[in-house]
Chains A and B, each alone.
Chain A
Amino acid sequence: ILNVEQSPQSLHVQEGDSTNFTCSFPSSNFYALHWYRWETAKSPEALFVMTLNGDEKKKGRISATLNTKEGYSYLYIKGSQPEDSATYLCALGYSTLTFGKGTMLLVSP
């Protein structure tokens, strides 16, 4: 059973704060690492797919890094806004995905 761990479980920050979360996974048999954003009452939305050690991806104020040798990925949000409030999920695999439990982010105005 593949174990994908995310921390922290939840996070409450003020508007304008920068924040980051961690996704940890077994470093053996790595294929791909996905990040998704899931807003309440909406569908999960793909943010990034990363496959190579050292990969860095960026979309607006959100960026992610990948270290396959030590088995972790970081997701960074610069200058958090209330609309960033969501659960951020990471998942391991190509098409057969194993998800972590997510980090719930709340950004207060």
Chain B
Amino acid sequence: ETGVTQTPRHLVMGMTNKKSLKCEQHLGHNAMYWYKQSAKKPLELMFVYNFKEQTENNSVPSRFSPECPNSSHLFLHLHTLQPEDSALYLCASSPLGKGASSYEQYFGPGTRLTVT
């Protein structure tokens, strides 16, 4: 399997549930990202991991907890979410290195999350 994969593709969870989103990249990239896409809003960066270290937390509420155990895997742990957290959650990766093309981000297909 190649590219960036995300599981599950769809998730419905109650506000008291705990669930995790998984992202895996098979591209040998050094950076991974979580984004949120809400209706009628631009793609919003949530977290950045460079070489497994978190380098960016874009003021995301603590009910979202990222984990990057290695450079190929990224998780987003979810607990006590609110209905307004319903959105499409996208994962991406990029090579990071020299040259502008090393900053191109490769996206997964996303997880459509509904919080009831």
In whole Å, how far is B112's beta carbon from the nearest beta carbon of chain A?
10
- List A contacts of B31 (CB < 8 A): 95
How many residues in B have their beta carbons less than 8 Å from beta carbons of A?
Answer: 27
Evaluate contact between A97 and B100: CB separation under 8 angstroms. no
- List A contacts of B4 (CB < 8 A): 43
B-contact 0/1 string along A84-106, CB 8 Å cutoff = 00000101001111111110000
- List B contacts of A43 (CB < 8 A): 3-4, 90, 106-110
Let me know if B78 is at the binding interface, CB within 8 A.
no
In whole Å, how far is B30's beta carbon from the nearest beta carbon of chain A?
10
Sample of 10 A–B contacts (CB below 8 Å) = A4-B42, A42-B109, A44-B43, A44-B107, A49-B104, A51-B100, A94-B103, A95-B33, A98-B42, A100-B42
